[in-house]
Structure 1
Amino acid sequence: MVQVCDTLTTDFEKINIDPFWNVGNEVEHKNHRIHAYPAKFPAFITQKAIQYAISENIKINCIGDFFCGCGTVAFESKRLGFDFWGCDINPTAVLIAKAKSNTYSISYVKKYFSNIMDLYDARYNTHIMPSHINDRITYWFYPKEIFELSLLKQCIYDVVPARSKYRHYFLCAFSNILKPTSKWLTKSIKPQIDPNKKPANVRQAFIKQCIIMEKAIADEPCNSNANIEIKLKNALTLRRKEFVDLIITSPPYVTSYEYADLHQLTTLWLDYADDYRDLRKNSIGSNHNIFTNDCYTLLNCVGQEIVRDLRNVDKSKARAVAKYYFDMQRITNVCKSALTINGMLVMVIGNTEYKGVYIDNVKHLVKSMQNSGFSKIYVAKRKITRKILTPYRDKFGRFSSNDNQRKVYSEEFIVIGR
């Protein structure tokens, strides 16, 4: 780990790998695997960040994550006995995070599950479909699966009370069987139909998913009384001041996944939006974000240089990166304001490359944090484990060895601000 004094002259790629941030000491809790999620935050980094903060005499009462995603930091904070406040702009992420962070009684889970399945079987021959099915659902699902999923969802709603934390639990289970029961190409990080795919049986997939989640509850039960609060909120609009002692987060990367697209099946089935594309709006890292001239003119000097280089090869991508950097500068202001005196920000981020232009996200982030008033900034580098050896992705998101494609780096950085 190095302390950064001069951002412009520091070559962050030459920082040595720091073994402290490389490997966790504990087996990841099964609760972190109850729902698929792209680029999931490694649980051990939360543990390491808390350990590091305590070693630096940070008095931790509440931990924050303003891009809480599927709730990794939330669950680890609770498991370790710390209060947590987090938010995400993606309703599917918030659903998973809440489901993951609640404490459940196995006896209640079994009772609700049994009642849901009994009702499902009793109504199978009499279930009446809703009068309108979203066209996008009919695009992704065959009629049999639409009928069965519609029935299953209605049974969950009828059995589990609306304000119950157990509804989050069973809707999370429902969400995670949508891709297997659809035409969605298995393990694809882009929305693609597989015309040869045989969808999984809805009833069997739900039973299997609920067994997985029940085993997660039994895996080292979490008895912490920590207060966990997770909001559906755009972090850019957060105005709360000095309420968290430690922020552990990983923002969406520039040229990243379109989370609204990847989670569109849950969005459509759970009525989060009639058109999933509406959820792209204001999502940091989205190529469909709203662009204004301020995104150019208000960039710091690092951002301006990178965007200028990108404009020479792809003006559309330059606009997207400029908007991303503009929003990241606003986020560092939000984080600085939200931290208590002597608080700490731990942010995980990586660099990338696009058509030969090196996109130094770390350097831009460090400069943004300096401009936001962080007085001491440290940077460490870690190796991303289980990284596929082909270091490029094509336009469909598939890994490739073609060096004309977008390069995906096998390291990422831990940036710490005080």
Structure 2
Amino acid sequence: MKLNLQQKLKSYGDTYWNFEKIKRDGVHKIANYPAMMVAPMQHKLIEDVINMEGNISNIFDPFHGSGTTLVEGNRFGLDLIGIDINPLANLITKVKLQGVNKDTIYNSNEELLLRINKYREKMMDLHYFEKIGKWFRKDVIHDLSIIRRSIIDEKDKRNREYYWTCMSDLVRKYSNTRSSTFKLHIKEENKIKIMENNIIEDFICAVENNVNSFDTPKSNSKLLIQGDALDAMDKMEANSIDFICTSPPYGDNGTTVTYGQFSILSLLWIDHKDLSISSDELIKNFSAIDSSSLGGKINPVISKSDDIPSEVLVNLLKTISIEKQKKIKNFFHDYFIVIQKMIRVLKPGHMMVLTLGNRRVDNTEIKLDEITKEFCIKNGLEIEAEIDRSISRKRIPKMVSRIENIGPVQSMNSETVLIFRKGESV
């Protein structure tokens, strides 16, 4: 008897989808990014859906992040469509998919090293942006400026974008920010002073070690959009997507995962000519990306319980302070709209895979999985399969906030994968 999708996914065993012993390798390790998806998990999900459906030629991720889902979709030769508001995420994903110019990269690497050595011997203008001295030691500013100038002088655009990606990790590593959080918090002064500066050596090592990580280029189409998913999906044709596979934000960035704060220092070092930025406002200040993301804008929030299309959410809000209710309502105002737009672009009869986590507010679990399931079913989707998995290895700080009289609140340690099918009449 042929298994349905739920039976197929469960047949691997209760702990299979945890992927606890998996380490990032290949193209997925060329740059760090918060809350990265597990590549083998995404690969297996995509593989099983493709094999079962047999009618999938494109895959869409409206919150592509560091590109894990799109890279795995690329390995099956699918046409790719991705959206992310974060220019650093867009750059990392672009580099992972396009790779380097194999005809010129080794020559480019040699010339890059020569330029670095030249600028080390010769005084040069240092890069500057507002508050740079707060976030970087003087010697680090000097060495990052050498690397930056050496990258700008690279003529091959693909190779240059690759170099920026290699540099992005080192900007964060050698900054004065704490590594225990994605937010921008200054390290203790003694830790800043004793930090050993090997940034140029680390950069050269990254460039040389990562160059062979890329997959063989494929001829499938690849469309990456840097922008707000709410706006970008309006320009997409209805019923045009064969398969949606994504992990949407679990809450507004400012209080959940601050992707923008994690990225902004790197973005301020990268030449903006090599970034896809829909608006310079995104890098105008250190919180602009997060405040422009889902739920971050100042919207007319849902004011009445009758206006909230989820009984689960209405009941949860009763246990949360009025002030924090506003942020939650603001997030779900955007979240429900973006889910509706995803449903609009998905072809009837086709599947949408959502990987979701339940964060805590005032130590109340915001049951995003139940809220999403309730909303999607009301909007014409049927639940096809569901997986619960541990995320003990996912790159999220162990403690995300502190509540008065309660203390530190643990971050989420599990996720739910919901797989929906759009009805033929929707």
Q: Classify the TM-score, shorter chain.
A: 0.7 to 0.9
Letter in 1 for 2:43: Q
Check if 1:278 corresponds to 2:288.
Answer: yes
Unaligned runs of 5+ in 2: 7-12, 273-279, 422-426
1:12 aligns with: none
- Describe the superposition over 1:48-82 as per-residue Cα deviations: whole angstroms up to 9, x where unpaired: 22123224325110111000000111111112221
1:414 aligns with: 417
CA apart distance, 1:229: 1.7
- The answer on whether the counterparts of 2:356 and 2:417 sit within 8 Å (CA) in structure 1 is yes
Check if 1:143 corresponds to 2:150.
Answer: no
- The answer on whether the counterparts of 2:116 and 2:150 sit within 8 Å (CA) in structure 1 is yes
User: In 2, distance between residues paired with 1:391 and 1:141?
Assistant: 23
Q: 2:114 is paired with a residue of what secondary structure?
A: helix
Larger deviation, residues 76-85 vs 403-412? 403-412
User: In 2, distance between residues paired with 1:155 and 1:230?
Assistant: 27
Check if 1:59 corresponds to 2:59.
Answer: no
Question: What pairs up with 1:79-158 in 2 under 5 angstroms?
Answer: 79-129=75-125, 133-158=128-153
Check 1:246–1:19 CA distance in 2 against 1; reply closer, same or farther (3 A cut).
farther
- Describe the superposition over 1:65-104 as per-residue Cα deviations: whole angstroms up to 9, x where unpaired: 0000001111111122211110100011111111111133
Check if 1:299 corresponds to 2:311.
Answer: no
Letter in 2 for 1:352: R
Letter in 2 for 1:207: I
2:352 aligns with: 345
Check 1:346–1:83 CA distance in 2 against 1; reply closer, same or farther (3 A cut).
same
Check if 1:249 corresponds to 2:246.
Answer: yes
2:377 aligns with: 370
Letter in 1 for 2:85: I
Check 1:394–1:172 CA distance in 2 against 1; reply closer, same or farther (3 A cut).
closer
1:7 aligns with: none
CA apart distance, 1:391: 10
Check 1:277–1:25 CA distance in 2 against 1; reply closer, same or farther (3 A cut).
closer
Q: 1:112 is paired with a residue of what secondary structure?
A: helix
- The answer on whether the counterparts of 2:402 and 2:408 sit within 8 Å (CA) in structure 1 is no
Check 1:291–1:32 CA distance in 2 against 1; reply closer, same or farther (3 A cut).
same
Check 1:29–1:227 CA distance in 2 against 1; reply closer, same or farther (3 A cut).
farther
Check if 1:320 corresponds to 2:327.
Answer: yes
1:193 aligns with: 186
- Describe the superposition over 1:27-47 as per-residue Cα deviations: whole angstroms up to 9, x where unpaired: 754211111111101112221
User: In 1, distance between residues paired with 2:151 and 2:394?
Assistant: 38
TM-score by length of 2: 0.82
Check if 1:386 corresponds to 2:393.
Answer: yes
CA apart distance, 1:108: 2.2
- Describe the superposition over 1:124-143 as per-residue Cα deviations: whole angstroms up to 9, x where unpaired: 3434326x722232211112
**65, 71, 80: which is aligned to 1:69?**
65
User: In 2, distance between residues paired with 1:396 and 1:109?
Assistant: 47
- RMSD of aligned alpha carbons: 3.1
- Describe the superposition over 1:301-327 as per-residue Cα deviations: whole angstroms up to 9, x where unpaired: 3364145324xx432321111112121
Aligned sequence identity (%): 22
Check 1:393–1:23 CA distance in 2 against 1; reply closer, same or farther (3 A cut).
closer
Letter in 2 for 1:98: K
User: In 2, distance between residues paired with 1:386 and 1:304?
Assistant: 29
User: In 1, distance between residues paired with 2:28 and 2:337?
Assistant: 30
- The answer on whether the counterparts of 2:313 and 2:371 sit within 8 Å (CA) in structure 1 is no
User: In 2, distance between residues paired with 1:293 and 1:223?
Assistant: 45
Check 1:391–1:82 CA distance in 2 against 1; reply closer, same or farther (3 A cut).
closer
Check if 1:229 corresponds to 2:223.
Answer: yes
Letter in 2 for 1:42: V
Larger deviation, residues 91-100 vs 294-303? 294-303
CA apart distance, 1:347: 0.5
User: In 1, distance between residues paired with 2:312 and 2:418?
Assistant: 17
Check 1:394–1:351 CA distance in 2 against 1; reply closer, same or farther (3 A cut).
closer
- The answer on whether the counterparts of 2:181 and 2:397 sit within 8 Å (CA) in structure 1 is no
CA apart distance, 1:265: 0.7
Larger deviation, residues 66-75 vs 77-86? 77-86
Q: 1:177 is paired with a residue of what secondary structure?
A: helix
2:266 aligns with: 266
User: In 2, distance between residues paired with 1:205 and 1:43?
Assistant: 25
- The answer on whether the counterparts of 2:135 and 2:176 sit within 8 Å (CA) in structure 1 is yes
2:172 aligns with: 179
- The answer on whether the counterparts of 2:310 and 2:375 sit within 8 Å (CA) in structure 1 is no
Letter in 1 for 2:241: V
1:395 aligns with: 401
